[in-house]
Structure 1
Amino acid sequence: MKVYFESYGCTLNKRDTLYMQAQIENTTNNLEEADVVVINSCIVKQPTETKILYRINQLKKMGKKIVLTGCMVSEPYLKYKELQDISLVNIYNQDRIKEAIERTYKGERVLFLEKKKIYKEFARPLSKARAIIQIQEGCLWRCTYCGTKLARSMFYSYPPKLIKREIEEKLKQGIKIFYLTGPDTATYGKDINYSLADLLKDLIEIEGDFYIRVGMANPTFFLEQIDELIDVFKSNKIFKFFHLPVQSGSNKVLKDMNRPYTIEEYKELIYKLRKHFPLATYVTDIIVGYPTETEEDFEQTLELVREIKFDGINISRFWRRPGTIAWNLKQLDPEIVTNRVKRLKEVFLQGAYERNKLWLNWEGEAIIEEKGKNNTWIAKNEMYKQIIVKGNYEEGQKIKVKIKKARAIDLIA
């Protein structure tokens, strides 16, 4: 029996897929020869949901036996007709994926839908030099637009000893870069009298030559421990990378979204970090076209982006998600939203280019992170700037670079 995995969505979903693959002996990258197909689903955006449902129907026509897992295996999606004749495994039962696959292969329809706390240890590495390490599950927020909250409703932190043990084991395998992930890394430790800052202090004490990248962290809980985090981020084992979603530049829209911070508090957080790490990489998420967003609200978002000059923005149109409060709100005219997305991209790219020009003629050390396009490699320096290089390299290799050209999204060395 051969098993084919197909994964959609975020870094955490990639980690879940790697965790499940580690339990299966005979995985294949060839769909044609697969006996069972496992789809790890995402529901953040409507186009992704549509793509997955289409894919399920396509696989059925091919005669494939299907196990669906991930965030779609939750209410209200369980009622969808496409899910009624395939095996379903929610995120809290991915430790039973091998059993689900074997029973599906024999012709059963498996439903593993109960909620229970599990620690998904010892996933496969992401690549030769990189690994994704999950540190927490669930979210403490109740944003009006978020469907993921419905699927990942249980909140808990992984014990520090488990996280440390997995990193130590991966170091023995030659891993050099660790991506810490979870729905909201800033909430880590809230349930175990610990904190993200405490965890990082422990991890940088591990012997070895490696880098840690801290994944998405919501602003409120990051600001709560800002002094401790600034102190630990000074370690040369931690990339100066801050992914802090703002979602909107309007306090009114943030309130409508049920985001528990103000733009003033968000700016305070960014400027405190920039005082210590002026050249660090600052990434945010922005939803364009939330149903209550006026032109004035959107102009406030543009003004925020002009002021902060983010290094990266995940720009998303608003997509209403089943089961959320925002589902019932009247949506904006799609042409208005499209126009706003275009304007936001233009403002972002201009600011990002200005930031990247500060790196011209910089010389220093970077680590090869992954293969790029057209015979190039992508390297990152300690500030997590994306540097494009050509040469005969391999993942995890440290190199000396000199920046000769700046673009909005990367640097050329």
Structure 2
Amino acid sequence: MEEVRSIDPSGETTDPFAALTRKRVYIETYGCRYNFGDTANLVEVLRKYGSSCVGSPEEADAIVINTCTVIAPTERRMLRRLFAFQDKLLFVTGCMPLVQRDSIFAVCSPKVITPDQIREAYLSVQTVAPAGVGIVQVAKGCLGRCTYCITRLARGPLTSFPQEEIHKKISAFVDAGAFEIQLTAQDVSAWGQDKGQILPDLLTGICTLQGNYRIRVGMMNPATVIGILDELVDAFKSEHLFRFLHLPVQSGSDRILKRMGRGYTVQDFEDIISAFRRRYPGINVSTDVIVGFPGETADDFSRTLDLIGRIKPSKVNITRYSARPFTEIFTEKDVPDSIKKDRSRILNTFAEKQYTTVNHLLIGTIVSCVVTEKLKPGSVVARTASYQGVVIREDLPVGTAVDISLKKDRKYFFLGDCVSKALPRIQCVKETSDFIG
């Protein structure tokens, strides 16, 4: 394998992975699916160095912490984990060493492996491990100018990865037994916009690949969806795509969205949801909301509640605003923690009541799914065409098509009983609301 080289502060050329050669390595990964994709790539690189991964730090010769720093509580947790392993052969990667190196070296003295070094090394390996779910990175960085986001400072401007590389990795995962392929980036819908291409072109190409699989398109920014909306809606017609949108809105107030630098309005967001639902009535919509953003008033928060009530998403990921260093809004006056906590609780309770109302109507119905993941012996996760999760207590192979009777609602997933099953195959996805939304 061609060695990956970098320049250390002394000016010498070094291999960042050399110290991990033939080691037993324990890896902890935090944050987004992109980080988990980096870890999966790192594992494959380490195999080529004669190393193996172990399940606990006690078994390990070396520790790798793949860090996240999206909010302050996560940053503090990262620093505690790094401090706990300071006496070990310790490596750190992820977002923190890219933007908060001084904070890391204040608590320990690890070796740093950057995400770019992992990517460069992986390109000379390009193997995948057998799994029910495969993570495929399609780009790094973003086109956004969000005033509060440290991740864009860590990952830099948008760099879209080549279609051929993405196709090759998807095919490798499918050949290795994966059914669910998760496309991930800091903003998946921005793919190609740095190279005169657009995401629908990528999705259309992916869906010509052979095999038994479905694609889950990862988080998309409404600001980069707006300009490609018609083409994107049309691309979702393929049976190889889950009818699932992860579209963060962050606030239901245009005033706050402008302060956030998000680049779209509430109406833009609702127009995107409406366009997809007109074509695919059963599509599953997940969104993200930040509560307690600097300057957010009770009226702004009320507008967010109203928006969630109108769009009725299947999941709302709620984050209390956390000031991040080096961001434009870092020095702005913060909303008191007590107000953030209250708003987070109110929004979560409101959202969960909606899940319960919708899900209750589905108890006792039979839905068509495909097994995507094994949880533990005797239990698997199956997904509907709209990506609703159903746990069934049977030991079935990934890719098995099943009809499931929904028995219990767990808000974010269902428990069900299998009423029929077939060998792994692709099911045709109807353009109706036959699937759970």
TM-score (norm 1): 0.89
Residues 390 and 414, structure 2, Cα contact 8 Å, conserved in 1: yes
Alignment CA distance shift 1:163-1:216 (3 Å): same
Identity rate of aligned residues, in percent? 32
Equivalence for 2:189: 186
Establish whether residue 227 from structure 1 lines up as the match of residue 237 from structure 2. no
Q: What's the RMSD between the two structures over aligned residues?
A: 2.0
- Provide structure 1 residue ranges, at least 5 long, that are not aligned to the other structure: 98-117
Q: How many residues align?
A: 390
**C-alpha deviations, 1:199-219, integer Å up to 9, x for none?**
010011111111000000001
Which residue identity does 2:36 align to in structure 1? K
Alignment CA distance shift 1:119-1:86 (3 Å): same
**C-alpha deviations, 1:117-155, integer Å up to 9, x for none?**
x96973644x62210001011010011111111110132
Supply the distance in 2 between the matched residues of 1:224 and 1:176 (Cα, whole angstroms): 30
Equivalence for 2:170: 167
Establish whether residue 308 from structure 1 lines up as the match of residue 311 from structure 2. yes
- Greater Cα offset, 374-383 or 178-187: 374-383
Establish whether residue 12 from structure 1 lines up as the match of residue 34 from structure 2. yes
SS across alignment from 2:189: helix
Supply the distance in 2 between the matched residues of 1:76 and 1:182 (Cα, whole angstroms): 21
Which residue identity does 1:48 align to in structure 2? T
SS across alignment from 2:276: helix
Which among 30, 53, 59 is matched to residue 33 of structure 1? 59
Map 1:13-412 to 2 at 5 A. 13-25=35-47, 26=51, 27-60=53-86, 63-82=87-106, 85-95=109-119, 122=126, 124-125=128-129, 128-372=131-375, 376-412=379-415
Alignment CA distance shift 1:193-1:119 (3 Å): farther
SS across alignment from 2:358: helix
After TM superposition, give the deviation of residue 366 of structure 1 in Å.
0.8
Residues 217 and 244, structure 1, Cα contact 8 Å, conserved in 2: yes
Residues 178 and 211, structure 1, Cα contact 8 Å, conserved in 2: yes
After TM superposition, give the deviation of residue 369 of structure 1 in Å.
2.3
Which residue identity does 2:221 align to in structure 1? N
Which residue identity does 2:76 align to in structure 1? T
After TM superposition, give the deviation of residue 85 of structure 1 in Å.
2.2
Which residue identity does 1:122 align to in structure 2? Q
Supply the distance in 1 between the matched residues of 2:276 and 2:79 (Cα, whole angstroms): 42
Which residue identity does 1:191 align to in structure 2? D
After TM superposition, give the deviation of residue 243 of structure 1 in Å.
0.2
Which residue identity does 1:135 align to in structure 2? V
Which residue identity does 2:304 align to in structure 1? T
SS across alignment from 2:204: helix
Supply the distance in 1 between the matched residues of 2:226 and 2:353 (Cα, whole angstroms): 28
SS across alignment from 1:321: coil
After TM superposition, give the deviation of residue 223 of structure 1 in Å.
2.3
- Greater Cα offset, 350-359 or 305-314: 350-359
**C-alpha deviations, 1:25-66, integer Å up to 9, x for none?**
322223113121111100012111111111111112xx2011
Alignment CA distance shift 1:346-1:381 (3 Å): same
Alignment CA distance shift 1:121-1:269 (3 Å): farther
After TM superposition, give the deviation of residue 174 of structure 1 in Å.
1.7
- Provide structure 2 residue ranges, at least 5 long, that are not aligned to the other structure: 1-22, 417-437
Residues 72 and 78, structure 1, Cα contact 8 Å, conserved in 2: no
After TM superposition, give the deviation of residue 407 of structure 1 in Å.
4.5
**C-alpha deviations, 1:215-258, integer Å up to 9, x for none?**
00001221221211121211111000100000001101001101
Supply the distance in 2 between the matched residues of 1:33 and 1:355 (Cα, whole angstroms): 46
After TM superposition, give the deviation of residue 392 of structure 1 in Å.
2.7
Residues 353 and 406, structure 1, Cα contact 8 Å, conserved in 2: yes
